[in-house]
Amino acid sequence: MVYDDPQPPPPGFTATLLAALAAALTVGLFFGLADALVADVRNWPPTGMVGYLGCYAAAVMSYCALGAALLLPAGLVLHPFLARHGSRVRLRRLLVLGITMMAEIYWWTRPYVFYGHSSVSPERLGAALVQGLVAWGLALVAARLLLRLPTNAHRAIRLLALACVVGGLFFVRSEAALVENRGALNDRNRDLPNVMLVIVDALRADHLACYGSERVATPNIDALAERGVLLENCFAQAPYTWTSFGSILTGKYPRKHGLVAQKPGAQMEPNVTLPYHLKTAQLKGTDERLRDIDYAAGTFMTGALSHGSGLARGFDAYSEAMMGHDLVQMDSQWSRFRSELLLWLFKNKLQQRVDSSLVVTTARGWLREHRDRRWMAMVHLYSTHTPYDPPGEFKDDYLDPTYAGPIESFYAEHRYALEEGKYEPTDADVERIRDLYAAGTAQADAMIGELVAELDDLGVLEDTLILVTSDHGEDLGEWRPIGAEGDSTDTRYWEHNHMWGTNLRVPMVMANTRLLPHGKRITELVETIDFLPTICDLLGLELPTEDGVMEVDGQSFLPLILGVERGETDDYVAKRYTYCENNFFISIQDVRHKLIVPRLLLLDEDAEALFASKEWVRLYDLERDPEESVNIFSKGGAELRRLWEALREYDSSMPEPKYRMTERDREQVQMLKNLGYAGGIDPGANAEDSRKSEEDEGN
């Protein structure tokens, strides 16, 4: 192409299409290299020269493809307006258009410009318009500067872009081959089941029909309970997400696995997680061990959960809807690198706009790819966590059409307003919020139904052990006492990070025709740390050990499930207590009583005297007072002393919390705040802050 050709342009679309292609290659090269550099710095730097060259080339390839997809049709549309101009002017104008459309100002200013507002809110749309004008002005300058380069420089730019396209294609293809054999059936894994762990964030057990709820229809979870096992009294080890997930995946109490802080930068030290164990465990009664290739493991995450917390150890693939990460294959440098490119982040966010269950859609696609392999999948659903804003088809079934109040959805910012007294909710408002939560519960049940139906369609339902549970429950405006014994002051509690039973009791339903009986209900106390050893027991795997010492705190409850048939109940020592802790309190409970004490009390040298003073210590009779509304500390007697001594023994057996902190990330800070974790959750908070926050139990 000649840029100073004074002759009229040739007729037809040829010159315009060539200019559009040249503009696409030029813009694709510069934007691809710039975005690749940012991705390199942000998270996943490639390793080795081939990895670096391949990832950068594939990034340029992606942007060149986008540029061509935008500018070739644009050139056809604009051709009547460009036809009277020479090639140089056509190129300049298409460069301006390409740079403006692909400018990243809007994306990178999100944490600073109306963060947390909907992308279609008037504020964000106005900001987008202003930033679009800024991008257009910068594009005019950039295009003129580019066209001042000599003709040979333009040829070199296009040739380099084409080389990146070709090299990127070969690199992406070679990377795809690296993940094709995981989970292939062999003599070690052929007789083992697939494992699907579905964790519905903030799901209350008492909102499921199979747990006695008459408020919400949950036919899919109910069907799993009918053909499987339901645990009536299962309790979480922490009332917030990261720490509870740590206990579920490792079988350890929080201060054993170490992820006791939920704040930007907190990361769990390497632990044996369930997916990791499925790749390394010894088969019972043999010298054979499972190997890394024996299970393909994928995790599909929403909300605040992320691979950066250390919870994804052992998973080969992950997606993070909240962070905008499409499915990432850990074996592929390109897949990891691509997850941080703006082009793919933006694609994921657009998909979420049109698919409210994108996590399930992604999981189903992954399941289809692994239909003939052995796999473990963890699906994290979020419709029962704030924001309570389910799709219309679920709202229609649960929201009162006569409600005339201001609440159409319920976000963390709304909870702040309620707790700070900026708005006093009416009874109708509270019911509205509860109806939104009920609709979210129905949505979660529907998504679980999609997953089960996918397994059935693939013909692997009977080969899959399905577990449905939650990391913690939720408070929905229940009135609770906020003071010490005798204080009659009550307040409404919202969301989680409280020590009430509505937060700690979680559902647990398991189903598999070959491994489990039908319609079994277990009433004994069980903790979420018991999931991993129970799965190991079902699959015939030894528990994780280190230097011959068992690493997990949980115990298998399989004898409770199969005891009647096998006469093995005498071999099972019933769990006497369950324990839970957040950043301010520790609780212990048995089948009848529950004791809650401040963490700081157990750290004090004069703990016995402080305990006797009753300050902030709470004892509840769960049989007579299931709502935990009457503190009976003074009437506790021997029961109180027994629980106190058992709690001190538990506390003294725990190591000091260990977690690694890295540089804070502004976006993650804001994300956690928007989800209701203002400032994060950190048991290492100083005593003064802890004392100030005890009244609302850290929420």
**In the structure encoding, which two tokens stand for residue 108, read together?**
């990178």
Give residue 297's identity as a one-letter amino acid code.
A
Please report where in the chains the tokens 């699959």 appear, as a residue: 539
User: How far is Cα 249 from Cα 553, in angstroms, rounded to an integer?
Assistant: 12
Residue 465 phi/psi, 5-degree rounding, is -85, 120
- H helices present in 420-487, as ranges: 427-458
68 torsion bin: left (phi>0), alpha (psi -120 to 50), beta (else): alpha
Residues constituting the chain: 699
Per-domain boundaries in the chain: 14-179, 194-574, 585-696
pLDDT of residue 680: 53
Contacts of 609 (CB under 8 A, 6+ apart): none
User: How far is Cα 152 from Cα 498, in angstroms, rounded to an integer?
Assistant: 67
Neighbours of 432 (CB within 10 A): 22
Closest CA to 223 of 524, 562, 451: 451
User: How far is Cα 162 from Cα 61, in angstroms, rounded to an integer?
Assistant: 8
**In the structure encoding, which two tokens stand for residue 628, read together?**
């935990």
Closest CA to 672 of 202, 117, 115, 262: 262
If you compute the radius of gyration of the chain from its CA atoms, what whole number of angstroms results?
A: 29
Please report where in the chains the tokens 């015939």 appear, as a residue: 540
* Side-chain half-sphere exposure of 276, counting CA atoms within 13 A: 15
Neighbours of 632 (CB within 10 A): 17
User: How far is Cα 664 from Cα 679, in angstroms, rounded to an integer?
Assistant: 11
Q: Whole-angstrom distance between the N-terminal and C-terminal Cα of the chain? A: 65
pLDDT of residue 40: 82
Residues of the chain predicted below pLDDT 50: 1-4, 9, 565-568, 661-672, 679, 684-699
pLDDT of residue 427: 93
**In the structure encoding, which two tokens stand for residue 291, read together?**
């190997």
At 512, is the secondary structure helix, strand, or coil?
A: coil
Closest CA to 519 of 225, 213, 233: 225
Looking at the domain 194-574, which fold is it?
Alkaline Phosphatase, subunit A (3.40.720)
pLDDT of residue 105: 60
pLDDT of residue 6: 54
Report the run of H or E that residue 379 belongs to, with start and end. Answer: strand 375-381
pLDDT of residue 87: 78
Task: Quote the pTM value.
Answer: 0.86
User: How far is Cα 56 from Cα 199, in angstroms, rounded to an integer?
Assistant: 36
Residue 477 phi/psi, 5-degree rounding, is 85, 20
Task: Identify the sign of the CA torsion 392, 398, 402, 406.
Answer: negative
Contacts of 535 (CB under 8 A, 6+ apart): 195, 274, 465, 467
Contact 391, 356 (CB under 8 A): yes
User: How far is Cα 288 from Cα 176, in angstroms, rounded to an integer?
Assistant: 30
Closest CA to 240 of 288, 300, 180, 303: 303
Nearest 10 degrees: Cα torsion 51, 54, 60, 62: -100
pLDDT of residue 469: 98
Neighbours of 101 (CB within 10 A): 17
